[in-house]
C-alpha cells in the first residue's frame, strides 16, 4: 500500500516523518504540527516531554540537555576537572505576548534556581541555562526591543560554582519572524523557515564546546 493510500484511509502521519531520519521511540507527539516539527529538530540533543507542568505553569514542550565533561591525566581512570552543564527548555504557545509576560518568566527562572531539582551549585557545576520560547501569532515592537536587548547571566559564589543564565526567544511562525536574547541559540530549531541571524552570538552549545577546545 502506498503512502498516499494510507493517508486516504486516515492513517496518522507526523510532519517529522518527512525527513529520512528515524526518531527515538521516546519522542512525544504533539497535537500541533509546528511542535512536531520542532521536536524532530531537537530529538537527538534534548530529552523532550509534552505538557510539562512546573509550579502551576504548563509548557507544551519541555526539554533537558545535560553534558558532562572531564579531563584525563595519562589514563581515563585518572580524571580531573569534571564539570556538568545543563539546559532546560520551556516552550509555550500563546495567543499574545507582552513584556510583563516575559518578565514573569524571568522571575520564574530565578525562583527555580533556589531548588536542587533544577540547580546544584558545587565545584562540578559549570553552567545551567533556562531558555523560554514563546510561540505567538505576531511579535509586538516593545517585546522585540525587550528580548533583543536582554541578557541575564549570574555567577554562583563568584563563579567558583559556575553560573546560570536565563534566555528568551519569541517566535511567530506564520509571519516567519523571531527575536532572541543573547544566548538563546536553541531557537534555530524553532525557525522552520531558516536559521535566524544571531550576529555570531554564542549559545549554550557554542559556549560549551568552545570551553572544551
Q: How far is it, in rounded angstroms, from Cα 116 to Cα 29?
A: 29
Q: How far is it, in rounded angstroms, from Cα 113 to Cα 157?
A: 14
pLDDT per residue, tens digit, the chain (213 aa), is 443 443 344 433 444 434 456 777 788 999 999 999 999 999 999 999 999 999 999 999 999 999 876 544 444 544 444 678 999 999 999 999 999 999 999 999 999 999 999 999 998 899 999 999 999 999 999 999 999 999 999 999 999 999 999 999 999 999 999 999 988 889 999 999 975 554 444 444 444 444 434
89 touches 46 (CB < 8 A)? yes
- Does residue 6 lie within any of the structural domains? no
- Does residue 29 lie within any of the structural domains? no
Tell me whether residue 195 is exposed, middle or buried, using C-beta atoms within 10 angstroms of its C-beta: 0 to 12, 13 to 18, 19 or more: exposed
- Does residue 96 lie within any of the structural domains? yes
- Does residue 58 lie within any of the structural domains? yes
Report pLDDT for 23: 72
Q: What is the pTM of this model?
A: 0.79
In total, the chain counts a number of residues equal to 213
Q: How far is it, in rounded angstroms, from Cα 184 to Cα 180?
A: 6
- Does residue 77 lie within any of the structural domains? yes
Report pLDDT for 89: 98
Strands 163-172 and 177-180: antiparallel
What's the total number of domains in the chain? 1
- Does residue 19 lie within any of the structural domains? no
- Does residue 5 lie within any of the structural domains? no
**Domain membership of residue 122 as a residue range:** 44-212
Report pLDDT for 20: 53
Q: How far is it, in rounded angstroms, from Cα 31 to Cα 209?
A: 34
Report pLDDT for 194: 74
State the alpha helices, DSSP H only, in the chain. 3-8, 33-42, 99-112, 141-148, 204-212
Strands (E), the chain: 47-54, 57-73, 75-93, 125-135, 153-155, 163-172, 177-180
- Does residue 54 lie within any of the structural domains? yes
Q: Write the DSSP symbol of residue 158.
A: T
Amino acid at each position: 500500500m502506498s503512502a498516499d493510500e494510507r493517508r486516504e484511509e486516515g492513517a496518522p502521519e507526523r510532519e517529522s516523518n518527512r525527513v529520512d531520519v528515524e526518531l527515538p521511540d521516546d519522542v512525544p507527539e504533539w497535537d500541533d504540527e509546528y511542535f512536531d516539527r520542532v521536536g524532530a529538530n531537537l530529538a537527538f540533543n534534548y530529552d523532550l516531554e509534552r505538557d510539562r507542568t512546573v509550579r502551576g505553569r504548563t509548557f507544551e514542550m519541555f526539554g533537558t540537555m545535560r553534558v558532562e565533561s572531564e579531563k584525563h591525566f595519562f589514563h581515563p581512570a585518572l580524571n580531573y576537572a569534571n564539570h556538568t552543564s545543563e539546559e532546560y527548555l520551556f516552550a509555550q504557545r500563546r495567543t499574545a505576548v507582552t513584556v510583563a509576560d516575559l518578565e514573569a518568566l524571568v522571575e520564574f527562572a530565578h525562583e527555580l534556581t533556589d531548588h536542587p531539582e533544577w540547580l546544584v551549585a558545587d565545584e562540578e557545576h559549570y553552567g545551567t541555562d533556562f531558555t523560554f520560547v514563546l510561540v505567538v501569532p505576531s511579535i509586538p515592537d516593545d517585546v522585540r526591543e525587550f528580548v533583543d536587548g536582554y541578557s541575564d547571566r549570574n555567577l554562583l559564589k563568584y563563579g567558583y560554582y559556575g553560573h546560570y543564565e536565563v534566555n528568551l526567544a519569541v517566535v511567530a511562525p506564520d509571519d516567519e519572524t523571531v527575536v532572541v536574547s543573547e544566548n538563546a541559540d536553541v531557537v534555530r530549531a524553532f525557525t522552520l523557515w531558516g536559521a535566524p541571524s544571531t550576529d555570531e552570538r554564542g549559545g549554550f552549545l557554542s559556549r560549551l564546546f568552545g570551553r572544551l577546545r
